[in-house]
A and B are shown apart, each in its own frame.
Chain A
Amino acid sequence: MILVKFYVRLLYEVELKRKIFVYYIAFKMLVGDRGRYIGIIIGISFAALIMTQQPSIFLGILTRTYSFITDISLPDIWVMDPKVQYIDDSNPLPDTQLYRVAGVDGVEWAKPLYKGTIQARLPNGAFQTCNLIGIDDATLIGGPAEMVEGKVENLRRNDSVIVNLEGAQTKLAGTPKYPGGPSNPLKIGDILELNDHYAINVGIAITTRTFQSQPILFTTYSRAMQFVPPQRNILTFILVKAKPGVNHQDLTKRIHERTKLMAYTRGEFINRTVNYYLKNTALPINFGASVLLGFLVGAVIAGQTFHNFTMENLRYFGVLKAMGASQKALVSMILSQAALVGGIGYGLGLGATALFAWAINDSVLAFRFTWELFLFSIFGVMIICAFAAFLSIRKVFKLEAAVVFQS
């Protein structure tokens, strides 16, 4: 028994060492042809860069479309007119709906939220379209989660608004004190004119950048009614908190049955918003085309160069075959070469994407890299490598060892 084990162990070690040498030969063949080696890696790196960078920007933009929903974390359920398709859509409800929703069994509280746009007149006379958010006067639910300066409670002062940091520093910033000088950000105490109404800035808030990148002004719901032009209804959303232990899905159904309004959990509303942008904008086509192009160009460069490399080395594969190397060993060599260039190429491409992400960190560009994207891009690079290897393996399979005698 011990002898059998020893023999199996010996066979295993011999086989392992043989495989290691096969991979060693494959490695040296590959890196020895430096021009092609670099060419293949450039092709794969390029494809990996495009396949990670472009979808990351796409995901970043998609994330911005629903950032307002994620910024408001307290409510479990968003209630709205059935015709509303996404977060920036508006079909106001009568205020009475708020009380109907609040009366539904399982609702802990229901608060009003106004979301619309308004023209702000800046001190220099210019106009800027802003998002105006009107939050519940009593509880201030729906207000900014993080303040840089001031407090959310400052909204209880007369004519007050809170401005988001990005808006204050860019689109609502005043004219520089001298030409070419630093911008003059909107500060606490500065005055804005909203639809001929006086408004005073009482705080600077941090918000996640939105799809439209307009400045965001927070105020109370009742004051929002004064700022916006007179209209029959201004209640855009009803924010609902479920009682502890109440199933959110069941509650959305109950709200719909009782009020005929649409109620969505936060996740459902995010999906609805994302789906709207996917179906009704050219975003997926534009970014999809870039990704596809990157994939194809990468596949063609890597496939062609890898194929040329194999053709160049076909004679040596023939030599190994003549000496007794099996088809399996030769295929292992090609696969290991493809895996090596794939791994290095992917690493470089991903590194370039990370560098890009670092470079744009403080800019307005959207960027979001997720583990799903990591898997997607690895899968894409694997397909490119498999395609390149397939072209080469086909040649080696068809290779007659007698090729070694051709001069």
Chain B
Amino acid sequence: MTKPNYAVQCQEIKKNYGVGENQVQALRGVNLNIIEGELIILAGPSGCGKTTLISIIAGILDQTAGDCIVYNENASYMTEHDRLVFRSHNIGFVFQQFNLLPTLSASENVAIPLIINGVSLNEAFERSSVLLKKMGLEGKQHSLPKQLSGGQQQRVAIARAIIHDPKLIVCDEPTSSLDGETGRKVMETMKSLAATNSRTIIVVTHDARIFGFADRIAQMEDGRILNVMSSQEAKPHEF
């Protein structure tokens, strides 16, 4: 039996916030391996450490203890500059509130990761326009975020997350601001993204309606992973 290619390997990850009596243990030794090309959902009650875990995996937060290896790179041993470069090339972000820059057009928002990676302006805008068309947003390239519906904004955010072809996409509650139908469409897009180019997608959510889109679901509680199961095994009322 061949060993799977791991996109993410978390070993005994601990994260404390604050010091002394005010110290809070957000993660209490998380072990989680995520296979390349997998769409995994992190689910659990508020405050269980889901967001802290994806922040550490994405390299935007340092763990207190343990190792987090993402595509064979351990961010703990990287300089700040190397970490920025690693993030800008390998990781895409989708946020609950979309976090589109309100004064930039859809096309400009999508082009940001390319520009950060040194792609020329013309090429960046060309590629962002093509991608927006693919995402069903033809004619919306020059619209400001406020001129788009919630679903359209999230699609722009997804386009921004994938335009630079990252290996890993982290999504924080991507459907919580959307209605059921739009949320389902967004997850279908995510699922197809995971299927192409073996992209790994980690989704943090409370939304049990989207569990069916995941390859696996990791159930978290009180800073630990209680259980990792397939979407067929998951019982939404238990989350």
Given A324-B87, A325-B116, A401-B60, verify A319-B103 contact (CB < 8 Å): no
Chain A positions within 8 Å of B87 at CB level: 322-324
Chain B positions within 8 Å of A406 at CB level: 51
Partner of A407, one of B97, B112, B117: B97
Is the C-beta of A370 less than 8 angstroms from some C-beta in chain B?
no
Is the C-beta of A32 less than 8 angstroms from some C-beta in chain B?
yes
Contacts between the two chains (Cβ within 8 Å), count: 88
- Contact yes or no, B61 A404, CB < 8 A: no
Interface size class of A (residues with CB under 8 A): 20 to 34
Partner of A324, one of B54, B108, B117: B117
Bound CA–CA A187/B119 (angstroms): 79
Bound CA–CA A248/B121 (angstroms): 66
- Contact yes or no, A405 B118, CB < 8 A: no
Most buried by A among B58, B87, B111, B115: B115
In chain A, residues 54-71, which have Cβ atoms closer than 8 Å to a Cβ of chain B?
A: none
In chain A, residues 248-266, which have Cβ atoms closer than 8 Å to a Cβ of chain B?
A: none
Bound CA–CA A28/B80 (angstroms): 28
- Measured CB to CB, the nearest residue on chain B to A24 is B108
- Contact yes or no, B118 A319, CB < 8 A: no
Is the C-beta of B211 less than 8 angstroms from some C-beta in chain A?
no
Q: Mark A286-328, 1 if CB is under 8 A from B, else 0.
A: 0000000000000000000000000000011001111111110
Given A324-B113, A325-B116, verify A25-B60 contact (CB < 8 Å): no
10 A-B pairs (CB sep. < 8 Å): A22-B115, A28-B108, A316-B101, A316-B102, A322-B93, A323-B116, A326-B81, A327-B80, A401-B60, A406-B51
Is the C-beta of B85 less than 8 angstroms from some C-beta in chain A?
yes
Whole-angstrom distance between the Cβ of B50 and the nearest chain A Cβ: 9
Chain B positions within 8 Å of A22 at CB level: 115
Is the C-beta of B99 less than 8 angstroms from some C-beta in chain A?
yes
- Contact yes or no, B85 A323, CB < 8 A: no
Is the C-beta of A356 less than 8 angstroms from some C-beta in chain B?
no
In chain A, residues 312-346, which have Cβ atoms closer than 8 Å to a Cβ of chain B?
A: 315-316, 319-327, 329
Whole-angstrom distance between the Cβ of A139 and the nearest chain B Cβ: 73
Whole-angstrom distance between the Cβ of B236 and the nearest chain A Cβ: 22
Given A326-B84, A405-B51, verify A28-B104 contact (CB < 8 Å): yes
Is the C-beta of B231 less than 8 angstroms from some C-beta in chain A?
no
Bound CA–CA A405/B84 (angstroms): 17
Interface size class of B (residues with CB under 8 A): 35 or more
- Contact yes or no, A322 B58, CB < 8 A: yes
In chain B, residues 70-100, which have Cβ atoms closer than 8 Å to a Cβ of chain A?
A: 80-81, 84-85, 87-89, 93, 95-97, 99
Q: Which residues of B contact A (CB under 8 A)?
A: 51, 54-55, 58, 60-61, 80-81, 84-85, 87-89, 93, 95-97, 99, 101-104, 108, 111-113, 115-121, 172-173
In chain A, residues 388-407, which have Cβ atoms closer than 8 Å to a Cβ of chain B?
A: 400-402, 404-407
Given A323-B87, A404-B93, verify A25-B61 contact (CB < 8 Å): no
Chain A positions within 8 Å of B55 at CB level: 402, 405
- Contact yes or no, A21 B54, CB < 8 A: no
Q: Which residues of A contact B (CB under 8 A)?
A: 13-15, 17-18, 20-22, 25, 28-29, 31-33, 315-316, 319-327, 329, 400-402, 404-407
Chain B positions within 8 Å of A322 at CB level: 58, 60, 87, 93
Chain B positions within 8 Å of A321 at CB level: 60
Partner of A319, one of B85, B99, B119: B99
Chain A positions within 8 Å of B108 at CB level: 25, 28
Listed from nearest, the 4 A-B pairs whose CB atoms lie closest are A324-B88, A32-B103, A401-B60, A402-B55
Partner of A28, one of B51, B89, B99, B103: B103
Chain B positions within 8 Å of A31 at CB level: 103
Given A14-B118, A322-B93, A326-B81, verify A405-B54 contact (CB < 8 Å): yes
- Contact yes or no, B115 A400, CB < 8 A: no
- Contact yes or no, A21 B115, CB < 8 A: yes
Bound CA–CA A253/B117 (angstroms): 72
Bound CA–CA A84/B119 (angstroms): 74
Bound CA–CA A406/B17 (angstroms): 15
Bound CA–CA A60/B193 (angstroms): 72
Bound CA–CA A20/B120 (angstroms): 11
